[in-house]
Amino acid sequence: MTAAVQLEIIRRDEGSRARRGCLHTPHGPVETPCFMPVGTQATVKATTPAELRLAGAEIILANTYHLYLRPGADLVRRAGGLHRFMHWDGAILTDSGGYQVYSLGALRKISEAGVAFRSHLDGASVFLRPEDAMTIQRDLGADIIMAFDECAPYPCAPAYAAESAALTARWLRRCLRAAPGGEQALFGIVQGSVFADLRRDCARDLADLDLAGYGIGGLSVGEPKGLMYEMLEAVVPELPEDRPRYLMGVGSPDALVNGVLRGVDMFDCVLPTRIARNGTAMTRAGRVVIKNARYAEDFLPLDPGCACETCRHYSRAYLRHLFQAKEILGLRLLTLHNLHFLETLMREIRAAISAGDLAAYGRGFLAAYGYTDSKEMSF
């Protein structure tokens, strides 16, 4: 195991697999469980790094595929790496481009050697091998780098999921041979779609490789929430207790609570920033669609219990006005609020683990938010 990134377990929850910890990285400590804002193009949309810090973020995510296409990994390397290029002094995790193997399905072809893409920018041919993903992430300079993988779609046949997971395992071994090492920690990714036996086998195989950490991929791609939680229950017991576990692409409040209770340490998702740009805010009482006419003369804060800059200084009426007038400030203020909301949720989850009442906290939070279905309160 590389010494670049290590997880210190501080407290375990007696009633679940949840644990509170500290992820030690070359760019500072990250308290876990944590939510990582997504900065696909070396920017978390509509925010500055200073604002991310104010929201409570200690680690962010950037994307290998997109930065390889534009502005180019070599340019980022010559600029001093992602940290200096984007003026972020905290930890960074880079996705390998594996998710684009799934999301750009119409523009790619998978083979044993790697993936041939047709660039969504200009149609140019791009071929990525597992070794290329390692070289690009070395040049980007992230603290945590992800192995190249295939994220199988949902639904898919068991035979497809099995071959996809086997291909991901073979690619991982190529990534290991090509990984830069030093101050970059390589995480492998557990695949297997919604088939528990495949997930367990994949997790055991990865655990034997003594990796710095473990991603759980291929979930939150359309499957019912209950199935996602079943897969976590199958996978997490097979992974090493002293390594971080990262549930990829998940960021709804119910999934964060349920994921932590099942032993997940790290999450990321575009959800809070994407819905903010469309006029939707997360609040203690559930989602608020600020464009609705009911807020035209509502002079209350967006979320009265929130301490973010948006809620301390601006009313719902003003925020609605900004969206109606198509002013950029509106989407910025909602983005900042949503990120602060999820970072606050994770801070409260960590405190609840330390206090020994995570399940009670989770039920109270989700009930107030408006989650009542059994799949959202399945603990």
Arithmetic mean of pLDDT, 131-148: 98
pLDDT at 375 over 90: no
Arithmetic mean of pLDDT, 281-309: 97
> pLDDT averaged over the chain?
96
Q: What is the CA radius of gyration of the chain?
A: 20
Arithmetic mean of pLDDT, 345-359: 97
Domain ranges of the chain: 6-270, 276-369
Pick the range with the lowest mean pLDDT from 100-104, 302-306, 347-351: 100-104
Q: Which residue has the higher pLDDT, 223 or 3?
A: 223
**What pLDDT score does 373 carry?**
78
**What pLDDT score does 107 carry?**
87
- In this structure, the strands spanning 185-190 and 213-216 are parallel
- DSSP-H helix ranges across the chain: 49-55, 64-69, 73-78, 82-86, 98-103, 130-140, 158-178, 196-207, 225-235, 253-261, 271-277, 309-313, 316-324, 328-355, 358-369
In this prediction, residue 97 has a pLDDT band, given cuts at 50, 70 and 90, of confident
pLDDT at 1 over 70: no
**What pLDDT score does 60 carry?**
98
Arithmetic mean of pLDDT, 168-188: 96
pLDDT at 130 over 70: yes
- In this structure, the strands spanning 6-12 and 19-25 are antiparallel
pLDDT at 343 over 80: yes
Q: Is 6 helix (H, G, I), strand (E, B) or coil?
A: strand
Rounded Cα distance between 316 and 297, Å, is 8
**What pLDDT score does 320 carry?**
98
Model pLDDT for residues 72-84, shown as the tens digit of each residue? 999 999 999 999 9
Arithmetic mean of pLDDT, 23-38: 98
**What pLDDT score does 378 carry?**
79
Active site residues: 95, 268
Model pLDDT for residues 198-234, shown as the tens digit of each residue? 999 999 999 999 999 999 999 999 999 999 999 999 9
pTM beyond cutoff 0.95: yes
Which helix (H) or strand (E) segment holds residue 288: the answer is strand 286-289
Rounded Cα distance between 49 and 51, Å, is 5
Q: Does domain 6-270 have CATH number 3.20.20.105?
A: yes
Residue 146 pairs in a beta bridge with 187
pLDDT at 2 over 80: no
What are the DSSP calls for 101-138, one per residue?
HHHTGGGEEE-SS-EEEE-TTT--EEEE-HHHHHHHHH
